[in-house]
Structure 1
Amino acid sequence: MNPADAMQALPPPDMSLFNLFWHAHFVVKLVMVGLLGCSVWCWAIIVDKTLLFRRTKTEMDAFEEAFWSGRSLEELYRSFNDRPATNLGALFVAAMREWKRSFEGSGRQIQSLSQRIDKVLDVTIQREVERLESRLLFLASIGSAGPYVGLFGTVWGIMTSFTAIAASKNTSLAVVAPGIAEALFATAIGLFAAIPAVLAYNKLQSNVSKAQSRLEGFADEFSAILSRQIDERLSLAA
């Protein structure tokens, strides 16, 4: 029988994704499983952060509506001090606490109160931005390293396939293709993990920048309001 006819008589290799994974080398399997795990964790971060920024925007809108509604600062402070405050509420509560400590203390130290309030606002903004940015570095890491990790699995798989080809002394495409496909599958998984991570990181980092700008804008406005009240009290005291 002609060897070519014998090769054609063989059933075609199973090229399903599960079969490519199952017949891959152990190192390539480890790379695939690791990348898939990273991809799942990336999507969990993406969903969590998307909901967080949506909730953050809603909370900021609600606070600004309450702040500019004409309510007194003391009334607003009592309403926000009774529950955990975040975002703009955290800035307001932190500044008002420093304000009240300065006026309720025995020393009534208000000479440098504006500088202390600005420092408190800066620290609170930094803390809020760190909270919003938490775990985003993981997305950036997977986005940059994922393709290279997948490429490592591909190179390892191709080396193993070529070693097996040299041992069998058969360079037929039907023999070479499955091993190379298994190796390239690792790169595909690396891209599958990296592409959403990069896109999500850019979008979420943009949301962080917008939230930070909004926090800094409110901090400047509120600091100006408190500074005017401090000047009024100093002028009355004089």
Structure 2
Amino acid sequence: MDHTSLSPLAMFLNAGPVGKVVMASLLLASIWTWVLIIEATVAVVRIGKAAREARAGRPIGILEPIADAGREANALDIIDETVGDKRERVAENMSRAAREFLTKAEGGLPNLAVISSVAPFVGLFGTVWGIMTSFAGIAASQDTSLAVVAPGIAEALAATAYGLAAAIPASVGYNRIGASFSRAGQQVAHYIEDEALRMTSAGAAARRQQKEAA
């Protein structure tokens, strides 16, 4: 086996039909993994930036649906409701909207967990199939030389490598990005607390002015 056969493309081309299906599936899973990682990373960075800007009094950007939920709840006046009760109701309404927003923003993040857990087993199937191919070659040729078993062993190891290439980034991405989304969720929660306080305080002050004017 020459050195060029160690390239991923050469290992794919030298594999049998089953090995090629396994490797192609894992290659697609690997590409999909990086697409999901990039999408989730961009989303979590935008959310964190928007939450920091919102708390600083700047435009809230993509957090507008959460603010709209707060304004809607703040606009509803309930008889005998205290300012504290209203603030809690507004915050709860905003938190519910935030949970829906963050769930959509996470997008395909759970799929990374699926890829990280399934890809090694798909690669293992390719490994087992390659070893079976080697034994079949031995049985057919009645020869145990390296030239007979090498193609099957190479196919087995290539399938393992493809499986790890898909599983490792998916596992790391899921854990790291999941932690980043948790931090972004905390930042959004702090924004909700500040905004609920600001809305209800402003509303209470406006009502006092109306009473004094009357």
TM-score band (shorter)?
Answer: 0.7 to 0.9
Amino acid at match of 2:129: W
* Residue of structure 1 aligned with 2:21, choices 30, 45, 49: 30
Aligned residues: 206
Structure whose residues are more often helix by fraction: 2
**Taking structure 1 as the reference length, what is the TM-score of the superposition?**
0.75
Where does 1:160-171 land on structure 2 (aligned, <5 Å)?
160-171=133-144
* Residue of structure 1 aligned with 2:10, choices 13, 16, 19: 19
Q: Which residue of 2 aligns with 1:7?
A: none
TM-superposed deviation, 1:231: 5.7
Where does 1:1-238 land on structure 2 (aligned, <5 Å)?
15-17=5-7, 18-66=9-57, 86-87=62-63, 89-100=64-75, 102=76, 108-109=77-78, 111=81, 113-229=86-202, 233=207
Secondary structure, in 3 states, of the residue corresponding to 1:170?
Answer: coil
TM-superposed deviation, 1:39: 0.5
TM-superposed deviation, 1:230: 5.8
Secondary structure, in 3 states, of the residue corresponding to 2:5?
Answer: coil
Distance 2:40 2:66 in 1: 21
Unaligned runs of 5+ residues in structure 2 are none
Secondary structure, in 3 states, of the residue corresponding to 1:166?
Answer: helix
TM-superposed deviation, 1:229: 5.0
Distance 2:88 2:191 in 1: 16
Distance 2:113 2:198 in 1: 39
User: Does structure 1 conserve the Cα–Cα contact (< 8 Å) formed by 2:74 and 2:200?
Assistant: no
Q: Percent identity?
A: 35
TM-superposed deviation, 1:227: 4.2
Q: Give the 3 Å change call, closer, same or farther, for CA 25–172 of structure 1 in structure 2.
A: same
Q: Give the 3 Å change call, closer, same or farther, for CA 216–99 of structure 1 in structure 2.
A: same
Distance 1:182 1:131 in 2: 40
Distance 1:229 1:62 in 2: 20
Secondary structure, in 3 states, of the residue corresponding to 2:62?
Answer: coil
User: Does structure 2 conserve the Cα–Cα contact (< 8 Å) formed by 1:86 and 1:128?
Assistant: no
